[in-house]
Amino acid sequence: MRRITETIRQYYDQLSPSERRVANFIVDHLDDLATYNSVELSQHCNTSKATISRLVRRLGYKNFKEVRDELKLMRQSGVPVPGPTLQVGSNFVDRHMASEMQNYQRLKVLLHSDKLNKVIELLSNAKSVSVIGFRNSYPVAMHLRQQLIQIRSNVYLLPLPGQTLGEELEDITSDDLVVLIAFHRRPSGFNNFFKTLIKLEVPVLLICEENSGLATEKLTDMLELPLDTISAFDSYALPMSLVSLMSNLLLHYQLDKGRARIEKINQLYDSTEELDINLSY
């Protein structure tokens, strides 16, 4: 996939002053450029629509729509697309929090369906739960496993550092559950792994970003989360919030068993002195 910023740098010295003005605006507004049409862009840059057309052709695009489509594809695939220079202050913080609240409202709609009840039943009834995550998804997977293991037994985090998955998948049966956390910018071999996992016909709960293109009828269930932010980097506030929500719901779904397990774990903490429990700071 081409990167428009690289293309602009390559041709920048050959651009006219008016074309450079447009090019500078594009670089400074990568995060919201996809919302402009060519007329609006020309107005913001105080130039003509013909200048816009001439610039995008010089950069190797058929029209401005191709530029917009590329930026949408970059953002949807998880590429950090920075916007204009942001001053760290109340306006930036307010915009960030407003974006987070919009994401939470979209998640709220998803979780008020029966889907979440089914997910909790899966987590409770599975003989074992294998949580799998790569790259950005790995910290979320690790946190989910750490919460679940306090509530139920036989929860595994895969792959272990430096290890492969083939030997781990061999033991998974239809009585087990795979929680596959797969947010975008997935590793190159992910599609083959995903197809292989589906072919095994084991229960799979997929947690990923919206519009991931990973939906398949053979999935046991799927949770798609918005990761949108006001600038370059995705927000993982919702995935971590979902981990907390799922863990708390599972605990209360099997409260007696969960309480007993937590108590036994706390007793082991006391006997091993693994945790600092001094509260007199």
Task: Spell out the residues 6+ positions from residue 183 whose beta carbon is closer than 8 angstroms to its own.
Answer: 78, 136, 137, 140, 208, 209, 227, 234, 236, 239
Q: What is the pLDDT of residue 108?
A: 80
Which homologous superfamily is 93-272 in? Glucose-6-phosphate isomerase like protein; domain 1 (3.40.50.10490)
Is residue 74 predicted with pLDDT exceeding 70? no
pTM of the model: 0.65
Q: DSSP letter for 34, please.
A: G
Is residue 228 predicted with pLDDT exceeding 50? yes
Is residue 278 predicted with pLDDT exceeding 70? no
pLDDT band at 34 (very low <50, low <70, confident <90, very high): low
Is residue 251 predicted with pLDDT exceeding 60? yes
Is residue 279 predicted with pLDDT exceeding 50? yes
Rg value, the chain, Cα: 24
The CATH number of 4-76, from 2.60.40.10, 3.40.190.10, 2.60.40.2240, 1.10.10.10, is 1.10.10.10
Between 271 and 118, the more confident residue is 118
Q: What is the pLDDT of residue 1?
A: 40
Average pLDDT, rounded, for the chain = 80
Q: Domain ranges for the chain, please list them.
A: 4-76, 93-272
Between 38 and 231, the more confident residue is 38
